[in-house]
């Protein structure tokens, strides 16, 4: 059981700072001028995602032998944070591609699967997806009803998955799908890699979402979708482990996104408070305003430290389930608070869709839901504390 009592001071290395500066410069020059338009038109910016791949953003945490930079989990958190500081849609595209599509292949894939799917993913040549959530079950993985049966030397998959990121756009190459497989009278989950274009695999139209408008999110239908034996990812009947093992890393990614969004919201609110005058002075001088900003500054720094600590533990190969849950729980709720306070400080101007303020407000809420809701994360932490079974 982890106790979360140790303390560590975090200071980015020269390489990590250089990577941060590179991603920040790219985000400010190539993403910020267009993010509002992409949000308004629900446009998935494939060219920008390709450029991020060329910068190495997709391969930061993967070993060099598989096309990555081998820079580690902290560096990956820094990349996602910097992207979310400008646009959460781009951040989730990168984060999901790495954590819940690439990592399962790295951890459970055969050498052939790694070469075929992970290497081009790490290079940013294509995107991957992971499909576990279903219309009738999200947090409850064991409620999955998608099935895979053996027939004529193939696995035949049937079922529907919901809220899947990166599965149907022009860069999408594969999806990892969990399905129940009949074994010894039971039906445990197994995981399969399904290439885009496979007969019977049918990505549906993109959802029209509250936020993350420039991110590709769809329902996936599997209708007698046939894949060969080599599509099996990990051991037969161990699909739950294939899904749950990378989940902690995914929570670090969402925590980093939350920190980035909160930081961006704080910067917007601070700049506006310094410029906006009322009663003869900038509103930043009013205690009601600068106390809000001071509280947010403190909470964001705490969220960042929690996130970097969880990432550092992951990078060191140490247990980090509790730390990842705590980072994601705290950071996501700080992000919602920051987005709300940003809008509040902007007043009427914050309610008009001519700035990034409403976009940040809409993008924030999903952070408390995806990769484990706040309620589930509190349960995870309590379980790690030995408070529940």
Given 127, 153, 178, the domain boundary residue is 127
Range of the domain at 32: 14-127
pLDDT of 137 reads: 72
**Structure confidence at residue 260 (pLDDT):** 98
Structure tokens at 334: 């700080």
Residue 262 CA from chain centroid, whole number: 15
How confident is the prediction along the chain (389 residues), in pLDDT tens digits per residue?
Answer: 444 444 455 789 999 999 999 999 999 999 999 999 999 999 999 999 999 999 999 999 999 999 999 999 999 999 999 999 999 999 999 999 999 999 999 999 999 999 999 999 999 999 999 999 999 876 677 678 999 999 999 999 999 999 999 999 999 999 999 999 998 878 899 999 999 999 999 999 999 999 999 999 999 999 999 999 999 999 999 999 998 889 999 999 999 999 999 999 999 999 999 999 999 999 999 999 999 999 999 999 999 999 999 999 999 999 999 999 999 999 999 999 999 999 999 999 999 998 999 999 999 999 999 999 999 999 999 999 999 87
Query: Do 94 and 191 have their domain in common?
Result: no
* Number of domains within the chain: 3
Residue 281 lies in a domain: yes
Catalytic residues: 371
pLDDT of residue 279: 92
Domain match, 330 and 256 both: yes
Is residue 256 domain-shared with residue 357, that is, in the same domain?
yes
pLDDT attached to residue 138 = 67
pTM value is: 0.95
Question: Is the domain of 39 the same as that of 122?
Answer: yes
Same-domain pairing of 366 and 249: yes
Query: What pLDDT is stored for residue 10 in this prediction?
Result: 73
| 372 and 264 share one domain | yes
Determine, yes or no, domain membership for 276: yes
Among 237, 269, 294, where does a domain finish? 237
User: Tell me, what's the pLDDT at 1?
Assistant: 44
Of 205, 222, 237, which residue sits at a domain end? 237
Please give the pLDDT value at position 8: 55
Q: Does the residue 4 lie in any domain?
A: no
The CATH number given to whatever domain includes residue 282 is 1.20.140.10
Residue 9 lies in a domain: no
Same domain, 345 and 277: yes
Is 214 within the bounds of a domain?
yes
Same domain flag for 248 and 359: yes
Domain with residue 217: its CATH number is 2.40.110.10
CATH number at residue 49: 1.10.540.10
* Residues 373 and 262 grouped into a single domain: yes
């Amino acid at each position: 059981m982890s106790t979360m009592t140790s303390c560590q001071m975090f200071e980015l290395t020269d390489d990590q700072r250089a990577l941060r500066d590179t991603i920040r410069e790219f985000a400010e020059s190539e993403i910020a001028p267009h993010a509002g338009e992409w949000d308004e038109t629900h446009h998935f910016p494939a060219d920008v995602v390709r450029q991020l791949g060329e910068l190495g953003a997709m391969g930061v945490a993967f070993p060099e032998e598989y096309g990555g930079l081998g820079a580690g989990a902290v560096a990956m958190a820094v990349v996602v944070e910097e992207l979310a500081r400008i646009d959460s849609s781009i951040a989730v595209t990168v984060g999901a591609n790495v954590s819940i599509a690439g990592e399962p292949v790295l951890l459970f894939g055969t050498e052939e699967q790694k070469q075929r799917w992970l290497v081009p993913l790490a290079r940013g040549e294509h995107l991957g997806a992971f499909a576990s959530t279903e219309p009738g079950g999200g947090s409850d993985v064991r409620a999955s009803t998608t099935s895979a049966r053996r027939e004529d030397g193939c696995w035949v998959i049937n079922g529907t998955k919901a809220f899947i990121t990166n599965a149907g756009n022009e860069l999408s190459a594969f999806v990892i799908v969990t399905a129940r497989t009949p074994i010894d009278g039971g039906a445990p989950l197994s995981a399969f890699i399904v290439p885009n274009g496979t007969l019977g695999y049918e990505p549906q139209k993109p959802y029209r979402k509250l936020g993350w408008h420039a991110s590709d999110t769809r329902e996936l239908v599997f209708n007698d979708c046939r894949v060969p034996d080599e599509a099996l990812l990990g051991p037969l009947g161990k699909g739950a482990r294939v899904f749950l093992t990378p989940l902690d890393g995914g929570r670090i990614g969402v925590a980093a996104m939350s920190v980035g969004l909160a930081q961006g919201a704080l910067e917007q609110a601070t700049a506006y408070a310094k410029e906006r005058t009322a009663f003869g002075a900038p509103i930043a001088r009013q205690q009601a305003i600068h106390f809000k900003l001071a509280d947010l500054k403190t909470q964001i720094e705490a969220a960042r430290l929690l996130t970097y600590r969880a990432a550092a533990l992951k990078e060191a190969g140490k247990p980090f389930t509790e730390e990842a849950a705590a980072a994601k729980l705290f950071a996501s709720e700080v992000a919602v608070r920051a987005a709300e306070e940003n809008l509040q400080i902007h007043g009427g101007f914050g309610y008009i869709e001519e700035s990034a303020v409403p976009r940040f407000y809409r993008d924030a809420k999903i952070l408390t839901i995806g990769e484990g809701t706040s309620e589930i994360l509190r349960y995870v932490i309590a379980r790690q504390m030995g408070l529940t079974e």
